[in-house]
């Protein structure tokens, strides 16, 4: 929903490819379908309202197209991992699990862990700067 709002159409190449990987690859097995259904239950519980806000603003649509670039790259890598895992393991179910876990972990790192670490480091830098700031001197002559 968010990608559709950002790209303006469910048929945009990025959106169509994400859907292909989610449903046609990961969701093509019973294990993968279970994982995708669980993800969808979480995602669709909050994404429609955010998608509506994004769709109503060209600035937000452009911003989210940029913010979604790491996700689009992750989906492309996920497709490769799904294919390689299926060939190496000989099990589509295992391929679905491996690909889903990779995509989930990367998404969590990109959109949760990395921003938290950046904000934490920024706060530390601000605190260090305040602590090392020279004290104002009293310029009164006696």
- pLDDT of 81 > 70? The answer is yes
- How confident is residue 133, by pLDDT bands cut at 50, 70 and 90? confident
Number of domains in the chain: 1
pLDDT given for residue 134 in this prediction? 64
Looking from the CA of 130 toward its CB, the CA atoms found within 13 Å total: 6
Separation between Cα atoms, residue 107 and residue 39, nearest integer Å = 12
- Report yes or no on 137 lying in a domain: no
- Report yes or no on 74 lying in a domain: yes
pLDDT given for residue 140 in this prediction? 57
* DSSP one-letter string for 41-69: HHHTTTHHHHHHHHHT-HHHHHHHHHHTH
Separation between Cα atoms, residue 106 and residue 112, nearest integer Å = 10
Mean pLDDT of the chain: 94
Mean pLDDT of 64-72: 97
pLDDT given for residue 137 in this prediction? 55
Alpha helices in the chain (DSSP H): 2-7, 13-19, 30-43, 47-55, 58-67, 69-89, 92-108, 114-132
- Report yes or no on 111 lying in a domain: yes
Mean pLDDT of 128-142: 67
- Report yes or no on 43 lying in a domain: yes
pLDDT tens, position by position, 16-41: 999 999 999 999 999 999 999 999 99
Instruction: Give the long-range contacts of residues 13-19, CB within 8 A, separation 24 or more.
Output: 14/68, 14/72, 17/72, 17/75, 17/76, 18/71, 18/72, 18/75
Q: What is the domain extent for residue 37?
A: 2-132
Per-residue tokens: 14 = 């990025």
């Amino acid at each position: 929903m968010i990608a559709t709002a950002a790209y303006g159409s469910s048929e945009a190449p990025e959106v169509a490819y994400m859907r292909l990987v989610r449903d046609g690859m990961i969701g093509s097995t019973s294990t993968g379908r279970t994982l995708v259904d669980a993800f969808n239950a979480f995602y669709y519980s909050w994404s429609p309202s955010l998608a509506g806000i994004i769709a109503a603003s060209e600035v937000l649509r452009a911003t989210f197209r940029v913010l979604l670039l790491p996700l689009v790259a992750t989906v492309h890598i996920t497709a490769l991992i799904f294919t390689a895992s299926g060939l190496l393991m000989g099990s589509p179910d295992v391929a679905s699990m491996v690909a889903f876990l990779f995509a989930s972990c990367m998404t969590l790192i990109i959109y949760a862990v990395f921003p938290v670490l950046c904000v934490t480091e920024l706060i530390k830098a601000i605190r260090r700067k305040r602590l090392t700031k020279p004290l104002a001197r009293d310029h009164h002559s006696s």
